[in-house]
Amino acid sequence: LWFITFGQVLNEVATIIETKLFRRDTSLQIIRLDISRTFPQLGLFQADGPYHRDLHDLLAAYVSFQPSVGYLQGMSFIAAILLLVMDDILAAFIAFVSILNRDSFHISVFFCQFTAYFSAFDRLLETCLPRLHAHFLALPTFSIQYLFQCDLSPILAIHTCHFAFHFPVYSRSLPLEANLRVWDLFFRDGESALILAALGIMRMYEEKLLASDFDQLASFLTGPMPADMCPEELVSCRTSLLFITLSEVCPANPKWRISISNCQTQLRNNHLNCLLLGELL
């Protein structure tokens, strides 16, 4: 009688448990595969590397902490950078969770804002780099959305019919030193730092991109950036965009408008501080 009474509930619970176990096992399999492909040139996260176990345990802990999200490609690069810099698995885990809890990293929030983000970035690109913007649009099979499916994307990318996290914060595309500079700016300025970093990269290689056809653009934007990229030049190109006016850009999303405004204020203040320091010296 007891089993008859609770039979349907027991079956439903069993199905839920099986689904969650399957998701966890699938996530752990993907984690094992992704770890071997995380910064292979460093040799720190592969099976015989000193950070292999810590990276695996951090990502596995996140899967248990957020089973509804699980593991998604790109997360290993975020965790790897945090482990390298913080050198403490607990501190790195707390930072990892904090980053992925930001609104712009949250899947449901992001998906609703995807079109607005495209529109805002399109306007920024047109304002900051009008020749490059026109060149992109002149290509028959190119669209601004394509930029966000590359690793240059400041936020996430859509994969197949289901969207997934793919926010490595430039860790897959930039040389390590340049990437760490972008992370510094990201923690200081927030998500707007990633927008300006994308524009800064395009400004650095504007002439190369202007001379490229679609295939060359696709190869360049989806591959790693040149190993000799100068971090100071990237920051300089990014800083040169500080006089963008919001009236020219008018992002469709108010949050991006506030974010860009805050970023511009911070950049101007930093620029003035540098000038004052130069005068004092």
Domain harbouring 39, CATH code = 1.10.8.270
Find the CATH number of the domain harbouring 164.
1.10.472.80
What's the pLDDT tens digit per position in 80-97? 999 999 989 999 999 898
When mean pLDDT is compared across 19-23, 112-116, 185-189, 273-277, the lowest value belongs to: 273-277
88 and 23 within one domain? yes
Q: Which residue has the higher pLDDT, 274 or 8?
A: 8
pLDDT tier for residue 274 given thresholds of 50, 70 and 90:
very low
Residue 135 is predicted with a pLDDT of 87
254 and 152 within one domain? yes
69 and 205 within one domain? no
233 and 113 within one domain? yes
pLDDT tier for residue 59 given thresholds of 50, 70 and 90:
very high
pLDDT tier for residue 41 given thresholds of 50, 70 and 90:
confident
- Give the highest mean pLDDT range of 51-65, 164-178, 211-225: 51-65
State the CB neighbour count (10 A cutoff) for residue 152: 20
Mean pLDDT of the chain: 70
Instruction: Choose one of 78, 101, 124: the last residue of a domain.
Output: 101
116 and 217 within one domain? yes
Residue 244 is predicted with a pLDDT of 55
120 and 36 within one domain? no
Residue 174 is predicted with a pLDDT of 82
Query: Mean pLDDT across the stretch 130-151?
Result: 67
Residue 26 is predicted with a pLDDT of 74
Q: Which residue has the higher pLDDT, 281 or 181?
A: 181
Domain that holds residue 18: 2-101
Closest CA to 150 of 168, 123, 163, 176: 168
55 and 85 within one domain? yes
Q: Per-residue pLDDT for 56 more than 90?
A: yes
Residue 2 is predicted with a pLDDT of 46
180 and 81 within one domain? no
Count of the separate structural domains present in the chain: 2
156 and 76 within one domain? no
pLDDT tier for residue 224 given thresholds of 50, 70 and 90:
confident
Q: Per-residue pLDDT for 246 more than 60?
A: no
Residue 18 is predicted with a pLDDT of 46
Instruction: Choose one of 101, 120, 142: the last residue of a domain.
Output: 101
94 and 123 within one domain? no
- Give the highest mean pLDDT range of 49-58, 238-247, 268-277: 49-58
Instruction: Choose one of 101, 126, 142: the last residue of a domain.
Output: 101
85 and 158 within one domain? no
166 and 108 within one domain? yes
Residue 108 is predicted with a pLDDT of 46
Residue 13 is predicted with a pLDDT of 43
Q: Per-residue pLDDT for 254 more than 70?
A: no
pLDDT tier for residue 21 given thresholds of 50, 70 and 90:
very low
